[in-house]
Structure 1
Amino acid sequence: MRKLMYAMRGHDFQDYTTPESLAQKMAMKKINAVQLALAYSFSDIATDDKKLSPGLGYTFQQAFQKEHVLISILSCYINMIHPDKQIREQLLQRFESYIRYASFFGAKIVATETGNVLPVIQYTEKNFTDEAFETMISSVLRLVQYAEKQNICVGIEPGINHPLHSIEKIVRLLDKIHSPSLGIILDPTNLITSDNYNQQYEMVKQCLELFSERIVAFHIKDFIIKGDKIVPVNLGQGLMDYKALLDLIEAYKPYCLTVLEETKEAHISSIYSDL
């Protein structure tokens, strides 16, 4: 097995109702880290940030620690550039709550994408304007400055449908915000299209050469192409040359946190031994 720290998303598992039962299912699959999205995995427990507390965090941390599973990332995906400034403020406050309580869960990274200039997340070239980028910078800077006080890392995930949609824009973001509390969660599949998917290796290598020290985690998400759309599938069932990418990541970032995203529970055993 490569020298990488593999993780799974909690909501890629099924049929669990408590932190204990999810931790047990992950341990049975020999998964030792989780990216935990409370809104997806435990919506009855944490439907909003007002339900977060040290006790909730400790309960989750203890349940997963008992099974030797690390809560490596808390997911709090928000539209940080929502066009309604009142809603945007509520979302930013929600993310700040996750930053404030992350350490109680045992997590040091809180993850999000950069959002959409429209109220609903969908593709629009309006996301690619300088105005959208500067609005994003303002939101990211606010979150990072708050995270610095809490000794937490804000993990930003680029995506082709968002203001942070290219390698050039990632570099611009990192040039503008010099902080150890800002990290990139790199998901190669989020940056490719049906036209350039064969360049996935070269793209990841370029990112590693340009800003490897700012990458805090990877998402490895296999895909197929339907029409002009990229559609996620279980690892090993699509067009991703994941073995080559994992070799590359290991060479630049040994033991880096690598989340096997969109690979469902039933498929884990067949692929995990091949990593």
Structure 2
Amino acid sequence: MQLAIFAKTFTTTGALPVLRAVADAGYAAAQFNLACLGLPSMPDSIEPDAARSVVEASRQTGVSIAAVSGTYNMIHPDRRVRDQGLARLEVLAASCADMGTRLITLCTGTRDAEDQWRWHADNATDAAWSDLRVEMEAAIAIAERFDIELGIEPELANVVSSARAARRLLDEVNSKRLRIVLDPANLFEVADSAERHRLIDEAVDLLAAEIGMAHAKDRHADGSFAAAGQGVVDFPHFISRLQAAGFDGPLITHGLMEAEAPGVGAFLRSALEESGRA
């Protein structure tokens, strides 16, 4: 399993400075974000030289590009906002080869018009699911055109709010272009140890064949997010379940400050070692 980090964790700008910071902090790979180039995360255009600077920096530093962030609100209540996001997704997809990656991470979205990471009661409606299906089919058509994959993440605040919802979408869409990003801290808010383990086990059992990437952030006992190793997530258990399911892809940490990056990396390496002994 490859230890990785969100490139946006680091405050410097430019592909080479950012990926050098990733390497210096002890990580072998990164999930890139166009904000690291001083652009919007989902820009209206990407100059070829800007995209190629990412893969060149990857070669110079030895840091591979596991994915690039392409999150927009896929079920925003305003169709025009969704159309704009889809157009920007195509821009990003067209530059993936130049950036050295084949995976774009998505946000399945919320009916909240202001915050794509905030739950809205209408997320649970048939209309929201229908809009997601339409949007996802269009996104998959883009992925087919540019020979890339799309990663979705079960996330409590989004329409795909659980591993079961993710399984439903995978089965309904039935595309090898659609992959799962699994973050244990997004499977619960407040839960006891037994329930946390149950949710992790269920998610891996349901989604194992489609997991393309794992995320690693944590939660405090009160439900607030924390850097990996500072909360209640049992990472050796999570990692061992992934390994038992045959997953050997990137484990990407986020939700941490730049100064915490070396320590979090050390914690996750220890968890990887512990899971290997289990």
Give the structure-1-normalised TM-score.
Answer: 0.90
**Structure 1 unmatched ranges of 5 or more:** none
**1:78 aligned counterpart, secondary structure:** strand
1:172 and 1:47 map into 2 onto residues whose CA distance is 28
**Map 1:49-128 → 2, pairs under 5 A:** 49-121=43-115, 122-128=118-124
Q: 2:218 aligns with which of 202, 205, 222?
A: 222
Contact 2:94–2:146 (CA under 8 A) maintained in structure 1: yes
- Counterpart for residue 5 of structure 2: 8
- Counterpart for residue 230 of structure 2: 237
- Counterpart residue identity of residue 241, structure 2: L
Contact 1:113–1:158 (CA under 8 A) maintained in structure 2: no
1:202 paired to 2:198? yes
Range with greater deviation from structure 2 (211-220 or 259-268):
259-268
- Counterpart for residue 211 of structure 1: 207
Task: Report Cα offsets for 1:53-110 as digits up to 9, x if no partner.
Answer: 3322111110122000011110011001111111210111111211121111001100
Distance 1:46 1:87, change over 3 A: closer
Aligned CA RMSD, in angstroms, stands at 1.8
2:44 and 2:71 map into 1 onto residues whose CA distance is 16
**Structure 2 unmatched ranges of 5 or more:** 272-278
Distance 1:88 1:197, change over 3 A: farther
Task: Report Cα offsets for 1:208-262 as digits up to 9, x if no partner.
Answer: 2222111111111111133xxx222122111111122112212213422111122
Q: Shift of the alpha carbon at 1:45?
A: 3.5
Distance 1:185 1:126, change over 3 A: same
1:196 and 1:161 map into 2 onto residues whose CA distance is 20
- Counterpart for residue 243 of structure 2: 250
1:145 and 1:198 map into 2 onto residues whose CA distance is 40
1:53 and 1:144 map into 2 onto residues whose CA distance is 24
Contact 1:46–1:52 (CA under 8 A) maintained in structure 2: no
Q: How many residues align?
A: 266
1:177 and 1:54 map into 2 onto residues whose CA distance is 32
Q: Shift of the alpha carbon at 1:203?
A: 1.7
1:48 and 1:219 map into 2 onto residues whose CA distance is 21
Range with greater deviation from structure 2 (45-54 or 27-36):
45-54
1:37 and 1:200 map into 2 onto residues whose CA distance is 30
Contact 1:250–1:256 (CA under 8 A) maintained in structure 2: no
Contact 2:208–2:247 (CA under 8 A) maintained in structure 1: no
Distance 1:68 1:114, change over 3 A: same
**2:174 aligned counterpart, secondary structure:** coil
Q: 1:180 aligns with which of 176, 179, 182?
A: 176
**1:171 aligned counterpart, secondary structure:** helix
1:59 and 1:165 map into 2 onto residues whose CA distance is 35
